Amino acid sequence: MFLLIALLFSTAIAAALPAPGYTEGNLSQPLSQTGFTSWNAGAVTEFPIHSSCNATQRRQIELGLNEAVTLARHAKSHILRWGNESDIYQKYFGNSPSMNAIGAFDIVVNGDKKDILFRCDNPDGNCDLEGYAGHWRGENATGETVICDLSYETRRSLSTMCALGYTVSASETNTFWASDLLHRLYHVPAIGQNWIEHFADGYEEVIDLATENVTLSTHDSDTLQHFALEAYAYDIAVPGTGCPGSQHEHHDSDTAGPGTGGSEIMSTATATNGPSTTSEVPANCHTHDGGELHCI
């Protein structure tokens, strides 16, 4: 009797499910019409690149985005392995819970790419401004990033990490396609979620943020970029050495007394800024070192 009931049940279940290998209907129909929908149907796993990009532009942006993913993936792996035992982690994030930064890198690697677009047609005219290598379109199209011709001339591959004079502390984060595009992706709501913002501008402020306002560090764009670059340099490019450059030291003398200003030994590091284009910046935008345009 039990056997019979069990048998009846199993045949009922078997009847409700199509036999393996049997496909009902038309395979070019959406799966839902055959009774099944893949949980991730319609996932966009590649960064969309607009038709305004020609073959060589597309190829360079794709290679740059692949390197941005490589950089973010390694940053995540470094944190998963070492957490706050890592001196590099401590330097940038203090004792912040590690899942915040892990998530900020993972979304670049594994997040859905549907509401993101890279384009090459200069729709806002900002590529005509001197020193502009690209920009986030801001209120004109929050998911869109324009890459200007200057990027193809200046951005470097991660294979040159720690070469050609690059150091994490003294060089711009936009030296590399990888970190430049990581920054641009954090402006796009699908990736940065209006949560990753600019709280610090440049290496010195990033280090200050880690000591003074550490809770902002794991959602600060420049902090995430600098951490990723330093971890990649130290772990991958020149293992065990990296190229951190001169370290921030003025905190020691900050305690010497009010108004001393400390020994601003790093002040020369920022003397190599790109052209200032402040006077030409569109309303609601501002520039950072190296001619980066940021629009709110």
Q: Give me the residues that bind ligand NAG (CB under 6 A), please.
A: 26, 28-29, 54-57, 84, 95, 124, 126, 137-138, 140, 149, 199, 212-213, 216, 282, 285, 295
Residue with tokens 């200057």, as numbered in its chain: 150
Q: What part of residues 237-296 is at the interface with Zn ion (CB under 5 A)?
A: 294
| Number of amino acids touching Zn ion (CB under 5 A) | 1
Q: Write down the least CB distance from residue 36 to ligand NAG, Å.
A: 16
Looking at the Cβ atoms of 78 and 294, the one nearer to Zn ion is 294
Question: Shortest Cβ distance from residue 5 to ligand NAG (Å)?
Answer: 40
**Pick 56 or 194: Cβ nearer ligand NAG:** 56
* Closer residue to ligand NAG in complex, CB, 81/268: 81
294 binds, among ligand NAG, Zn ion, none (CB under 5 to 8 A by kind): Zn ion
Taking the complex as a whole, how short is the minimal distance between the CB of residue 285 and ligand NAG, in angstroms? 5
* Nearest-approach distance from CB 278 to Zn ion, in angstroms: 15
Q: Which residues would be at the binding site for Zn ion (CB under 5 A)?
A: 294
